[in-house]
Structures are given as C-alpha cells and as structure tokens.
Amino acid sequence: MDQPRQTDRTAKFWDGAHLDDWHADSLLAHPLIQGYMSLRAFGANASHLDLAIREIARRSRPGARILSVGCGAAVKERAICAALPDREIVGIDIAAEALARTRIEAERDGLHNLELRRGDFNDLDLKPDSFDIILGLGAIHHIEQLEAFWRQCRLALRPGGAILAQEYVGPNRFQWTDAQVEHGNRALRTLVPSAHQVHHRSIASVPLETIIEIDPSEAVRAADIIPTCRAAGLEIETYQGCGCGLLQPVLINQAHTFDPRNWDHNHVLFSLFAEEDRLIRAGELGDTYCMFIAV
C-alpha cells in the first residue's frame, strides 16, 4: 500500500496544522471528542486529517491531481502536500488575500506541489477528467448550489476517481431538531456540571440572523449534502458516522471548559459519549458529522 512518507518538511506541518487542532471554542478541536469521533467512524484514534491523508495515499498514485474546494489559507492542503510530495494538490477558494499569503508561505516552505486558484465553489467550471480525487474537508456544508457542485464533480473526476469528504451534515444553519433539544436539555440537567455550562444552560438553536451575520454560507444546506449527492448519480461507497448529534448542541461554545488532563472532566465527556451512543443505537439521534466517499 502506498503510505504517506514522513519527511523533514512534513514535520513542519504535523504539529499545529491539522483541521482539528486544540483551540478554545471548537468542538472538533478537543482531543477526546476528536478521538471519540474517529473511533466511531474507523475504530482508530487518529487525527481526522491524518485519516484523509491515508485515504488519499491509498486511492491515488504518484502524479495524481487532487482538488480541494474551499481551501481558505490551505492549512490542511499544505499538510497533505508535505505528506504526499509526489501528488499535485489544487486548492480553490474565493478569498484572494488569503490565497496570496498562502502562496508566499508555501513557496517559503518548499511546497512546489500546491496550486492555489481563486474561484467560487458555488460556480465551478472544471475541465472534464481533470482530477483523480476531490476533497471536501469541512467545506461542502458552505455550498448552497449543491446540485451544480455535484455535477461539476462528476464531470471533473477521472475514471476510478472519488470524492472524499469530512463534513458537518446536521441540521441546516444549526437549527437543532426537537429530539436534539429534548435530549440535550436532559443531558445538561443530569450529566453536565454547571461549571461547564459557561455558554448555555439549555439548548436553543443559534439565531438565524447571528449565523448569517457571521457567515451567510455557514451550514446553509448541510442536511442536503448526502441526499443531493445521491440524486446527482453518485454512489456513496463508504459512509462513516462520527456522531455528535447530542454532543454538538450540548457542548458548542463550551467544549473548551473540559481540560483533557482533568479526569473528572473526562468522566463527564465519557458519560456524554455513552448517552449519545445509546440514543444513536435507539434511532433517536443521528450524525451531525460524517466522513464519506462518493464515486
């Protein structure tokens, strides 16, 4: 199997460049939550980006061209380039200034297999048979024109190509379901000490005006990602659920209060993991995050 190679320049990116690095207010950044999601999806405690790199390596060969949509400052794409220097990565994003800065940084770091293009992933114009893999690493849930996006993916993928996605697929614009509100409120009452309830003590959907003000594209049609992918004629070859149907409404903006070095804190998280798993098994809740491969 073609595995990622650890090189000197890979090491520059390995610490501090992952999609799911630890910082204050990100649910996905907490190491125990990241581990729980990875274990649910793959039975292995691994960085989500590392899992993507391994799948890219398994599914492609040297010289392959890989497209990543919504790359932003291309932190993840630069890590992929460093891990797989014999693949060409093309990143597309609408933010011209961020792309310009990243080009300078990539050149400085000797990443010559990264090409950055300015483009709107709601209005792609890809050439037929131009890519071996298309990546959506937390970007597809920002796409409103999903039907057009999937058509462009089908057009651009070479024979045997695949779409690899790690995505939020929960309720559009974080408008929690009745079941999430009910079970989340019960979890806050019975499982989560008040010291961790620094942002909210009950479950309420994020106000639409707040979401739109922060980012008009945030989770705009997240719940439609899988259905529109299938409707476009793509086959979901692999679907791995990461859960978080309970964790996200309970812990959004307060996951940072759980210190992974504090085993009292960890015990609370383990209790939430167990309760979410029970609810998923009972069919009460589904995944808000998943990893899937479409062909």
Structural domains in the chain plus CATH codes: 8-294 (3.40.50.150)
Cα distances (Å, whole numbers) of residue 220 to 146, 187, 240, 246, 286: 10, 27, 22, 20, 19
Using only the alpha carbons of the chain, give its radius of gyration.
19
pTM passes above 0.85: yes
Distance CA 112, CA 114 (A): 6
pLDDT at residue number 118 = 96
Side-chain-side CA neighbours of 4 within 13 Å: the count stands at: 21
**Parallel, antiparallel, or unpaired for β 65-69 and 131-137?**
parallel
pLDDT at residue number 277 = 98
Which helix (H) or strand (E) segment holds residue 65: the answer is strand 65-69
pLDDT at residue number 205 = 86
- Exposed e or buried b per residue across 70-105, where buried means at least 16 C-beta atoms within 10 angstroms of its C-beta: bbbbbbbbbbbbbbbbebbbbbbbeeeebbeebeee
3-state SS class at 183: helix
**Which residues of the chain register pLDDT less than 70?**
1-25
pLDDT at residue number 44 = 87
pLDDT at residue number 71 = 94
